[in-house]
Structure 1
Amino acid sequence: MFLVAFLLPQLANAQSNPTTDSLIQLLNRTKSTKEKLPITLQLSEELYKSNSTLALKYAFESERLAKKLHSDSLLNKAYINQGTAYLHLGNHPSALNLFFKAIHGAQKNGDSHTLFAAYDNLAILYYYQKDMDNALKYLFAALDQYARKKPMSNFQIERKIYVLNNIGIVYDETKQYKKSAQYFNKALALAKQMNDHEIIANVLTNQADLYNNQGKSELALKQYEEALAIRRKNNNKWGLSKSYLSIGQFYLTNKNYDKAESYIKEAIELGKEAKYWQNVDVASSKLFNLYKLKGDYKNALTALELNKKVNDTLFNQERIRKITQLEMQFEFDRKQADFLTKQKERNIYYWLASIALSLSLVIVTLLFYLQKNRTRKLRLEQENLTQEKSKLEKDVELKEKELANKLLHITQNKEFIDDISTKLIGIKQKIEIEAQSSVQKIISDLQANLQPDLLQEFELRFHQVHDEFFNTLNKKFPDLTPSERKLCAFLKLNMSTKEISTITHQSTKSIEIARTRLRKKLNLTGSDQNLVDFLTQLDV
């Protein structure tokens, strides 16, 4: 298993950790924004394994506080913590976007610690997506950040062990066994140097998996049993459940059903005690298969019923977690909108006050010096304003065309790169092995051109062209979410669903659903009025 599972034994009970409880109490007593920010960051880091939704809540608060303090370095850390929570919640697109935002900011500041965290998490994300090339790419990028740190703290050595271990896992899964063994050995040597028993047990288990994949059954069993002995000594029920399941699977594969049954049953019992339901789910499924092979259908039914019960429990937990995540996201968006609204209100107040003062001075001066010419000057000013308005309207029309053309160009460029990359992948399979690495580099270079944040560029340019559009939209429809406001902007430019999909990385089906919801919020349901026409005329 990869890094996320690798860390769980150490953090499974983080939610009840006295450190977490004391941090929450400290946060409730703290009034200063500057003092609150590091506490919320630490809380999101402590909780992201045991309670990812709660970790996300504190990461959102960290972002808000960091923006309030104008701290770019801490804002990048907030992005990392949000991305990590999303990764554990299974929301990979949001996690990917946040990690790249953190990398962009950290590269400007030369923040090696944040870069490591972003690269490390990106590797996990790509591993989950079965993209082993990118997983290795970012694992080595993370390792490179620690190559510059001398001497390293214990925490940094621990993080380096995780990276070395995960490189070994990727090489094992891609059948590069020699390289896999090298990195497992490096990870194990550092783990023994730190004398961290649970990390040692995890690396030993991964080495056993490697031996098993190579057909070295005796060596594999020896490593499994050594990891089990370490966990017995430390009475780590969470880890013991994992070890018993690994050995049970080993015996099941080798058709030693009696021993397999004994170990898998023990894995289930320990998993129940530790509330490690994911392991109980897997173990009960293995037990069901074992009884089927033995023809013991009565016990097979019992194992199947347990598996279904655990599956239902996990499903309900996941559903509750997703609902909570959505509620928290909505609350965060609402607070962000309130903050921006108040900020705009303050700016408008100062702007109006300045204009009022300036106008007062101008009026007094005009009355004093130019009373007789007042009517003539007002008429001239009105003519100038009319001309200026006409000029501005033409400028807006020109900029709108430029913005639409640029977005179209970006969209076509992405489609072109995707098409070329697909063709190169096909060519890669047909050419000699020596030339495949060169073709892969070309593919990687092409894909690198797809990283720029198109949404940020679009929002900046759109605000320059249609400064009043969002003000009018927010005034008439204050309940729109940020995503729905962005969709309104795309539609105002008369962009197609396919073009919006390319910019936002969403599927066309998701965008069509979003358009239907938007019509309802704009009170257009049951109306024949075209959505694009409605938005085009909104700020006229």
Structure 2
Amino acid sequence: MASNKQHSPGSSRRFYILLLLAGFFLFAFPQNDSGVNLKNKVETLLNDNDIISANRLLNRNTSLDPEYVIEVLNLNLAKAKSEEDSEALAYTYLSIGNFWLMRTNNIKAYENFYQAEKLSRQNHFDWILALAMMNRSHLEPDIESRINLLREAIEMFGKLNDPVNLAKAHLNLGQVFSNYLRADSLKKSNRGNDVSLNPPAFNPSYRDSAFSHYHIAGRLNDSISHPEIEASVNVHFAEWYKFEGDFIKAQEFFETASHFFGLANQAKGQIYCLIEMADINVIKGEYPEAAMKLEKCMEWAGRMGFNDYLSTVYNKFTILYEKTGQLEKALNYQRLYTQSLTQLNEVISQDRIHSLNLEYALSEQNNLISSLNHKKQTNRLLMILISSAALLAIITSYLLVQNKRRKLQLIALQVEETRRLNEMKQNLMEADLARQQLEKDLLEEKVKVRTERIIMIANQINKLDTFLQSMSHDVKSLVNNPESNELAKKINDLKLSLSQSMYEQTNLRELQALSTETNQDFFFHIGQKYEGITRDDIKLLSFLVMNMASKEISGHFNISQESVNKKRYRLRQKLGIHQGKSFAEFYRETLEKLHG
């Protein structure tokens, strides 16, 4: 058996792919399931309401009974219509068309392909549309129509990223071109389901086009290794070798093709290969082998309902028995062949297909006219709506402009009112600042007057202290004179009285310094703000703010002047008074801060 990777009949005639037999479109590699298993799978899918998957399973397995297949497809069609499932309905039409195309009922196939194509265009089911166009191309008698359908399908398969069907579409398009060039070969293959082409004027570019599409399909299949495409490759080369008379190679390629058709579960492809191998046996004079193959083909094609191949088998039997001299059998098969041809002509009538084409074209034109009228009415309604919307927009814009103007005027009034209020606030603030400045000046004046008064009192007290101290000194000198004890006693009493008076005077001065309202605030502030201030510190500070000399202060504290200086220094540290600033200045600045 020849390998599918080594088929090259000659450097001048290199072909890679053959047209796929009608209806062989798959989305996955099929399984070689038995009929019962397939039916069970179909029933399971239908119970799950998965019509598309059920139809796909029926499409890719031609081994099922035709009666069962068409029954299920018709039920699926009715179900899809009742459920208004447009996608399932379109795919069911496609599946029914494929069923009838496989059985050479081209009229029914064309009708269903058209319905699938129509629904798919309306609902943008591109994957179904591309398949419908590819399959309908087999039924178009005009070569240009076939080419246009297949080119459109190729473009759609490319966008859908479907390499399997893209390869098949390229095969079909290549076959359309090669059919014209190899008419004799196609006549010998007798593939009854492929409608004859109306030959146009000879176009030399068809050969290059055919091979370019075969090359594309071959490259695509290198990555996907699809059994149907491999089978078609081998069929193509088998036909070519048969055409050249190399029957050994032709039979090898037909056997290889039949093997791949079996993997793809495509019975019709296997029957085709078997018919061609029987024809080779007849040509070679191997009549018993040919008869066995034809008997198998007749039983198989009859069981599957492949009437076109059944007709071909009748014709092959007629030729076989004529060659063997069995004229009675040849006559019987000739009658069967004639009868089958009559039946086939009824279902593949090209006139009927042309009529359907015209009917569907007229229907499309009517639909187009209806659509245009609907669009006209829609456009008229849109114009009215647009005009109304434009008028409404103008009115709305005018109202918005007026509203904006009113808002701007209101904002201007608010700005003016705000400016006026700000001016009033500013005037009030300036008046308040002026009042505060007057109060500050008045307070400073009060402080100044009180300070001066305190200083005057302090000076008077100082003078009194000096006088009393001088008197005390004189009294001491008298007391120390022992000449008069009585006088000394009296003077001593006077001394005690004067000392008591001086002590009370000191307390009075301290009380005076601490009792005024201003000094109360000052000394309260000092006690609160500065930590570690003692009562002696407050007493010392009261003497210092009155500018008392260290000598006088030492007398009040009964300490030396040096100790007073140390106390003054420590007090400066506690209050943070730097050298060069007097305690009186510190006193005035603190009062200004308190009353400022």
- Relative contact order higher in (CA < 8 Å, ≥ 6 apart): 2
TM-score after normalising by structure 2: 0.42
Higher radius of gyration, 1 or 2: 2
